[in-house]
Chains A and B, each alone.
Chain A
Amino acid sequence: MAIEIPKSLDELPTTSPRFVGKDVKRIEDPKLVTGRTEFIDNLVLPEMLHCAVLRSPHPHAHVVNIDTSAAEQLPGVVAVLTGADVKRWANPVTTAPEGWGSYCMAVDKTRFVGEPVAAVAADSRYIAEDACELIDLEYELLPVVVDPRVAMEADSPCLFEEQQGNVMLHRTFNWDDVDEVFEEAEHVFTEKFRWNRVGANPTETFGCVCQWDVLEHSLTCHGAYQTPGFMALGRAGSLNLPSNKVNVISYPQGGGFGGKGGPRGTDIAALLSRKAGGRPVKYIEDRMEYLLAGGGQSWDRYYEASVAVQVNGTVTGFKVKLLDDQGAGAEGYGTISVAKPLAAFTGCYRIQAARYELDVVATNRAPSYPYRGYGPPPHNLVLESMMDIAARGLGLDAAEIRRRNYIQPEEFPYTIPSGNEYDSGNYEAALDKVMEMADYHGLREEQAAAREQGRLVGIGLVNTIEPGVFDWNAYASVGVQGVGVPEGVRVGIDILGQVTVRVGFNLQGQGQYTLAAQLLADYFGVEMESVRVVYADTDNAPPHFGPGGSRLGVAMTGAILGACRKIEEKFCQVAAVLMQVEPGQIELMDGHLRVKGTPEAQMPIAQVAGTMLARGDLLPPGLEPNAETTSVWTAADRTEPDEEGRCKSYLTAANACHLVLVEIDRDTGKTEILKYFIADDCGTRLNPATVEGMIQGGVAQGVGAALLEEYVYNEDGQPLVSTFMDYLIPTIHEVPMTEKAALVTPSPFTPLGAKGCGEGAIHATPAAVMCAINDALAPLGVRANETPGSPNRLWKLIQGAAAAAASATT
C-alpha cells in the first residue's frame, strides 16, 4: 500500500510541531565545540603506517624509469608503491563521458603537475616524506597544452592517446526555434565572459585509513567520505574487488562542498596496504596537495552569450556557448558541472528559446572536481549579466527588466525550455522584499550623489534559481546513466520507546542529524534528546547517496517520514487490537495512539512498542513483532531525457534575490562590499537557523569567487597557486554581514513542502558582486567580464578607460 508522506507541517501527527520549523540547537554541536568529534586524522589503528605521495613536477611527460631502492632501504619504510604495481592491481576510474579516466597513479605517463607518481608507507609521515625524496624518476617531457582553445585543435598535444584529440564532448542543444527568435528580435546583445578556476577548499582536507584484507581479498576504508556508497562502488571498480567486499566507513567531515576528492588517495592507501601485507595505511592529504591535485579545482570557463530582447524588455531568447577546461581527465566528475545548468538554464525568466553549445576539453591542468553549486554559479553570472546588459541597452532599470520577465506564480509547475520543471515560486515577491529591505531607490540616489563626486559606486540586483534534490538524469548529456537517487534510513523504536535512526552518511556541517532528530521527535512526540542518530557504514547502511545536490534536507526527510508512516501504520494495528477497535479508528497524535473522537482512550507509543516486542500473544495474527523499518525515498515522476536532454530532473527550485552595494577604489581597483541584502525562498524551512547558515556560507564562497579566489597556471603548465598565501579564502573582514528575509512558497511535491537549499547563495553572490562591479564601472564605459574582479584586473580596466578618455579628447 502506498505510503503518503506529509506534505506540510500540519500533516504531522502533532498538535503543533515543537521542533520542526524551529531554530533548535544542533545535536552535533556539543561534541564539536569540545573538540571531541572524531575526524579521520584522529583514527589510530594497530600496526598503522603513514603514507606520503610523490608527485609529478611536470605537466605532461612519459615516466621512463623509477628507482625506489634508496627509499625502500630507509629505516622505517615498509612499502613503496609505483605505477607498475598500480597497473597490475588496479583499473583507471570510470568517467562520464567514458574513457577519460586515469589510474590513481601515473602508470606510463603523467598529465598534470601534482599527479601521484609513487607513494610510500612508513612509520611516520615525516619518514614517508623523507623516503619520497629518495625516489628517482626519469621523465621524457612531452609538449604541454594548458589553453583549452589550443587543446581543441587537431594537432594539439594529446593527453589520452586512445582518444582522438582532447575534446571530451562537443554538443549543441537547441530548445525551440532559437535562430528564428534571434532573427526576429528587436535587439540582440552579446558578451564574452571568463570564469577562472576556483574550488571547494574545506578547512579539513581529504584523509583516509585503508586496510586491505589479504586473506578475504576485501577492503575497509575509513575516511572523510561525503558519499560512502558511491565511493565504495567506485573502489570496487578501480581496485578489482567485488562490490560487496568494500566497506566504506565515513567519518565526520570538516566540510566537503563536493570537492573533498578521495578516489586517488583511497586507492593509493589501499594498494599500499595490500603491498604492506594488510597493515592499515593512513593518508592525510596536506593543503598543498589539496590545492595542486586534490578535489579542489572547478569551473575553468570561457563563455560567449547572447540575449534576444524586445523593446519592452521581454527576453525571448538566450544563447550560451561554453568552452570548459576540465583539466587532465574526467575522474572527478567535473563534467557534470556543464550539464547541471540544464536544470535551471533560463533562471527565473520566461525565456522561451535557448541554445547551449558545449565544448568540454582536456588540458594539462589538474582534473576538475565538484564544487558547491556544481556548474550554475558561473552560468548564473552569465545570465544575470546579460539581463543587466540588456537593461542598460534599453535604458531600463535592473529591477524592472527582471520584473517584466519573471515566471508568474500561477504558471507553476513550470517547464523551462531545457526540460526541467520548477515546482513553485513567487519571484516578484522576493524582488519587492529585497528592494524594500535595501531601500533600493534610496540606494540609487546615494549612487547618483557618489557618481557626482567621481566615486565608483555600484548596485547589483540579481536573481537565482537554486535547483534542489538532484537526479542523475540531469547529467545524461555527459554520459551519466540512471534516473532516481534513492536515500534510505532505518528507524526503530525500542522496547522502552526510545527512537533510533540509522543513516548512511556522516556529518558534514549541514545539520542533517539534528533535522533527523527534529522530525522523529515531532512525529513520535518524544524529546529530541531521546532520539539517537547513528551512522551506518556501507556494510550496514540502507541504500543511500548522502549529501549533494541540495538533496538531503528533502530526501532524508522523505525517507524518515516514510519510515514513520510505516511504523505508525503498524502501531495503529497493534493499538487497535489492544484497545479493541478497528485499525481505521486509531490515530497517532502527540506521541499517543488514540481512538479518533475519544482522546481519553489513548496509549503512549512506548507502551505499544513494549507490548509489541514483549507480548507476542497480544499481537494481531501475522504481524511481525518488529518496531523497526527501512524506508527508501526517491523523487517521484522523474523522466528519462529526450534527444535534447530535456527531462524532469532536479525536483525543487528554490529562488533568491540578492541586492548588493559596492564601491571600487579608483586608485587601487580594490572593491569593498558596503551593503548586502537577501530575500530567499526555499519553501518550508525545516530548521531556519540551518538555512541561514547555508545562505551565509554560500555568500562567503561567492565573495571568494568574485573577488579573491583563483588557481593560476603559467603557460608551461606549472601551477602558481599552491598555498593558502596565494589561494585567498575570504576572512571575516571580506565577507559582508548580510540582512536576510525569508519567503516561503512551499513545494507541492516534497515532504513538508521543503526545497533543497544547501548550495545556498553561491548561486547568486558571484553574479551579484560582479554585476555591482559592472554597475560601478558603467560610467567609464568598461566591463569586468573576468572573475575574480581582483584589484589588478579592475585597475587595468579603469586605467584603460582613463587612457581612452584622455586620447579621445586630444
Chain B
Amino acid sequence: MLERLEDEDVDAKILAGGQSLMPMLSLRVARPEALIDLRKLSSLDYIREDNGKIAIGTMTSKSAAEDSDLIRTKQPLFHAATQRIGHRQIRNQGTVGGSFAHADPAAEYPAVALALDMEMTVVSANGHRVIPAADFFVTFLTTDIDSTEILTEVRMPKLPAACGWSFQELSRRDGDFALAGAAVTMSIESGKCANARVVAFGINATAVRLQSAEQAVNGEQPGEAIFALAGSKAAEAVDEPLSDVHASAAYRRHLVQVMVSRGLAEAAMRAGGKH
C-alpha cells in the first residue's frame, strides 16, 4: 500500500471514513484517479494508554472515541470536541485520523491538537516520523504529511488533575461547521491562572494558538474582566479572518473574543473545583 502511494503516475487519494471526501467526489470537485482504502487496516483501530499518554489509531471511528470511557474521563477536551463533530451518523463512519489529515479550517480536532500539543505519527515505505501539532497543520486543507506517507496514530496527554478545560463552538445549527470556536486549558495555582493554552479555530486557514491571550491570564486572578481582556487580545492577534455567507471577517474576529473569554471562564471554573 505504501508502495502504491509512491507511484507518481497515479493521482491517488487516501480514503479513511470518506465523510469529508465523499461530498467532494459527489460535487466533482475532487477528481482522484484512484482511492487507497485504509478500511481493512484493523491494526489502526485502537484506543489505548501508552506510556502515560492516550494513543488512538487513525482508523478508529469518531463514535468509538466518543464512547470511550478512557477518553471521556482522562482527556475530556478531546471528548467534548468529538461530540461536536457533525452528527452521530457522520461519527460512526468518520475516522479520528481523517479530520487530522483533512485539516479543514473549521474542524474541531486541529484546535484540540494544538491545545494539547498532540503528536501525529506518519509512516512511509522508508520508516516513520512523529510530527508535533505545532508543525502539523500548515494551511487550508494542508498538513505536513507527505504524499508518500500515511497518518497512523495520534497521541495526546491525559488531562492533568488540576487542569480545567473548555471547548467552545458557535455554529448556525447544531452539528454545522463552526463559525468560530476555542479550545482552552488552564490550571489555577495559588489562586491565579496558570499554564493557559488558548487555541481558536474556524477563523482562518488553520487553528491558531493565541499566546497573547495566554499571557494576559497567566499569573492573574480569574475573573470576568481578565477573561474579556484576554479575549480582546486574542481577537486583535488573529490574521484577517475568513469571510463567507455565514459570517463576515469582522464578525468572526469579534467571535474570537467571545469564544476565548467564554472558554477561559469555563476552564477556570473547572480548574477551580479541583484544587
Residues of A within 8 A of B (CB): 129, 133, 288, 667-670, 708, 710, 712, 720-721, 723, 725-726, 728, 730-731, 733-734, 790-792, 795-796, 799
CB–CB A731/B246 < 8 A? no
CA distance A796 to B250 in the complex (A): 9
CB–CB A712/B170 < 8 A? no
CA distance A791 to B247 in the complex (A): 8
CB–CB B27/A728 < 8 A? no
CA distance A730 to B174 in the complex (A): 10
Of residues 163 to 216 in B, which have CB atoms within 8 Å of A's CB atoms? 170, 172-177, 179
CB–CB B245/A721 < 8 A? yes
**Which size bracket describes the interface of B in this complex?**
20 to 34
CB–CB A728/B176 < 8 A? yes
CB–CB B174/A733 < 8 A? yes
CB–CB A288/B27 < 8 A? yes
Q: Which residues does chain B contribute within 8 Å of A733, judged by CB atoms?
A: 173-174
A-B contact pairs, 8 of them (CB 8 A): A133-B28, A720-B245, A721-B245, A726-B245, A734-B173, A790-B246, A791-B179, A792-B251
Residues of B within 8 A of A (CB): 23, 27-28, 170, 172-177, 179, 244-248, 251, 254-255, 258
Q: Which residues does chain A contribute within 8 Å of B179, judged by CB atoms?
A: 791
> Given contacts A725-B177, A726-B245, A731-B174, are A796 and B251 in contact (CB under 8 A)?
yes
CA distance A133 to B29 in the complex (A): 12
Q: Which residues does chain B contribute within 8 Å of A712, judged by CB atoms?
A: 245
CB–CB B28/A731 < 8 A? no
Q: Which residues does chain A contribute within 8 Å of B174, judged by CB atoms?
A: 731, 733
CB–CB B177/A670 < 8 A? no
Q: Which residue of A lies closest to B180 (CB)?
A: A668
CA distance A799 to B245 in the complex (A): 19
Q: Which residue of B lies closest to A733 (CB)?
A: B174
Q: Which residues does chain A contribute within 8 Å of B170, judged by CB atoms?
A: 668, 670, 791
CB–CB B246/A799 < 8 A? no
Other contacts beyond A712-B245, A790-B246, A795-B254: 17, CB < 8 A: A129-B28, A288-B27, A668-B258, A669-B251, A708-B172, A720-B244, A723-B27, A725-B176, A728-B176, A730-B173, A731-B173, A731-B174, A734-B173, A790-B172, A791-B170, A791-B179, A792-B247
Q: Which residues does chain A contribute within 8 Å of B27, judged by CB atoms?
A: 288, 723
CA distance A136 to B177 in the complex (A): 36
CB–CB B173/A795 < 8 A? no
Nearest CB of chain B from residue A411's CB, rounded to whole Å: 44
Q: Is the interface of A mostly helix, strand, loop or mixed?
A: loop
Q: Which residue of B lies closest to A130 (CB)?
A: B28
Nearest CB of chain B from residue A615's CB, rounded to whole Å: 63
CA distance A710 to B244 in the complex (A): 13
Q: Which residue of A lies closest to B248 (CB)?
A: A792
CA distance A726 to B176 in the complex (A): 10
Nearest CB of chain B from residue A668's CB, rounded to whole Å: 6
CA distance A283 to B28 in the complex (A): 19
CA distance A708 to B255 in the complex (A): 18
Nearest CB of chain B from residue A773's CB, rounded to whole Å: 16
Q: Which residue of A lies closest to B231 (CB)?
A: A667
Q: Which residues does chain A contribute within 8 Å of B177, judged by CB atoms?
A: 725
Q: Which residues does chain B contribute within 8 Å of A721, judged by CB atoms?
A: 245
CA distance A288 to B176 in the complex (A): 18
Q: Which residues does chain B contribute within 8 Å of A734, judged by CB atoms?
A: 173
CA distance A464 to B246 in the complex (A): 30
Q: Which residue of A lies closest to B247 (CB)?
A: A792
Q: Which residues does chain A contribute within 8 Å of B258, judged by CB atoms?
A: 667-668
> Given contacts A129-B28, A288-B27, A668-B258, are A728 and B173 in contact (CB under 8 A)?
yes
Q: Which residue of B lies closest to A286 (CB)?
A: B26
CA distance A667 to B168 in the complex (A): 14
Max chain A CB contacts within 10 Å: which of B27, B28, B172, B179?
B172
> Given contacts A668-B258, A728-B172, A791-B179, are A710 and B245 in contact (CB under 8 A)?
yes
Residue of B173, B246, B248, B255 touching A668 (CB-CB under 8 A): B255
Q: Which residues does chain B contribute within 8 Å of A790, judged by CB atoms?
A: 172, 246
Q: Which residues does chain B contribute within 8 Å of A723, judged by CB atoms?
A: 23, 27
CA distance A734 to B258 in the complex (A): 22
CA distance A27 to B175 in the complex (A): 35
CB–CB A731/B175 < 8 A? yes
Nearest CB of chain A from residue B36's CB, rounded to whole Å: 21
Q: Which residues does chain A contribute within 8 Å of B173, judged by CB atoms?
A: 708, 728, 730-731, 733-734
Nearest CB of chain A from residue B269's CB, rounded to whole Å: 18
Q: Which residues does chain B contribute within 8 Å of A710, judged by CB atoms?
A: 245
CA distance A792 to B23 in the complex (A): 27
Q: Which residues does chain A contribute within 8 Å of B175, judged by CB atoms?
A: 731
CB–CB B254/A791 < 8 A? no
CA distance A734 to B172 in the complex (A): 10
Q: Which residue of B lies closest to A726 (CB)?
A: B245
Q: Which residues does chain B contribute within 8 Å of A288, judged by CB atoms?
A: 27
Q: Which residues does chain B contribute within 8 Å of A791, judged by CB atoms?
A: 170, 172, 179, 247, 251
Q: Which residues does chain A contribute within 8 Å of B254, judged by CB atoms?
A: 795, 799
Nearest CB of chain B from residue A500's CB, rounded to whole Å: 42
CA distance A795 to B248 in the complex (A): 11
Q: Which residues does chain A contribute within 8 Å of B248, judged by CB atoms?
A: 792
Nearest CB of chain A from residue B256's CB, rounded to whole Å: 12
Q: Which residues does chain B contribute within 8 Å of A730, judged by CB atoms?
A: 173
CA distance A640 to B12 in the complex (A): 67
Q: Which residue of A lies closest to B258 (CB)?
A: A667
CA distance A791 to B27 in the complex (A): 28
Q: Which residue of B lies closest to A722 (CB)?
A: B27
CA distance A725 to B254 in the complex (A): 23
CA distance A582 to B80 in the complex (A): 81
Q: Which residues does chain B contribute within 8 Å of A795, judged by CB atoms?
A: 251, 254
Q: Which residues does chain B contribute within 8 Å of A731, judged by CB atoms?
A: 173-175
Q: Which residue of B lies closest to A728 (CB)?
A: B172
CA distance A725 to B23 in the complex (A): 10
Nearest CB of chain B from residue A608's CB, rounded to whole Å: 56
CA distance A672 to B159 in the complex (A): 33
Nearest CB of chain A from residue B174's CB, rounded to whole Å: 5
CA distance A288 to B172 in the complex (A): 20
Q: Which residue of B lies closest to A732 (CB)?
A: B174
CB–CB B246/A792 < 8 A? yes
Max chain B CB contacts within 10 Å: which of A129, A670, A731, A792?
A792
Q: Which residue of A lies closest to B27 (CB)?
A: A288
Q: Which residues does chain A contribute within 8 Å of B172, judged by CB atoms?
A: 708, 728, 790-791
Nearest CB of chain B from residue A279's CB, rounded to whole Å: 26
Q: Which residue of B lies closest to A667 (CB)?
A: B258
CB–CB B246/A726 < 8 A? yes
CA distance A709 to B247 in the complex (A): 14
Q: Which residue of B lies closest to A724 (CB)?
A: B23
Nearest CB of chain A from residue B238's CB, rounded to whole Å: 17
Q: Which residues does chain A contribute within 8 Å of B255, judged by CB atoms?
A: 668
Give 6 closest A-B pairs by Cβ, nearest first: A667-B258, A733-B174, A792-B251, A712-B245, A720-B245, A792-B247
Q: Which residue of B lies closest to A129 (CB)?
A: B28
Nearest CB of chain B from residue A71's CB, rounded to whole Å: 15
Q: Which residue of B lies closest to A133 (CB)?
A: B28
